[in-house]
Amino acid sequence: MTRHRNSLVFCLTALLVLALSQWSSYLVDANLAIGETRVLAPFLYFTHVRNMGGTFGVLQGHVYLFAAASIVIIIVCSIAFLRSKPTHWVQAMLFGFIIGGGTANVVDRLVRGSVVDFINVQGIPHWQYIFNTADVFIHIGIWPTLVIAILQERKRYGRDAR
């Protein structure tokens, strides 16, 4: 039952993240011209930019290369997760955040020809990146997953050392 529940949590989370991310891309596309900025708070702007490259805008102009590579990674990681031994439902949800966010960026690339980025945080020294909802979900999924993996490894090696 745990495997089935976790698969369901993973799939539903990924679909919800995909839907929310695509909805935010649609709203930005419909309401902000490319390059236009709206100030929401002194530290938070919405600035509509298009990323035709990878993370942090590297290798601009290679939209389909990143889409193809991302699709392969998403499929391989999803299959690996769904075949893995049962984990806690929170880990399934975190992995759904990662896969849903990655899939949303792929959909942006394939449907819009680029990733729609718009979240522009102000006041952080040396920070000039604009990102999107999918990126936020990817980070919400990745960082706790890494911490959990490190703690599990420490626990496992601590037990093996005795």
Would you tell me how many other CB atoms lie within 10 Å of the CB of residue 77? 14
- Dump pLDDT digits (tens) for 105-145: 999 988 998 899 999 999 888 888 899 999 999 999 999 98
Which residues make Cβ contacts (< 8 Å) with residue 3, sequence separation at least 6? Answer: 85, 86
User: Taking 80 as the threshold, does the pLDDT of residue 88 lie above it?
Assistant: yes
- Dump pLDDT digits (tens) for 24-57: 999 999 999 999 999 999 999 999 999 876 565 5
Measured CA to CA, the distance from residue 52 to residue 50 in angstroms comes to 6
Catalytic residue chosen out of the listed positions 29, 108, 135, 160 = 135
pLDDT of residue 40: 95
Which residues make Cβ contacts (< 8 Å) with residue 39, sequence separation at least 6? Answer: 45
Residue 135 annotated to the active site: yes
Catalytic residue chosen out of the listed positions 29, 108, 117, 160 = 117
- Dump pLDDT digits (tens) for 55-86: 655 556 566 777 788 888 888 888 887 787 76
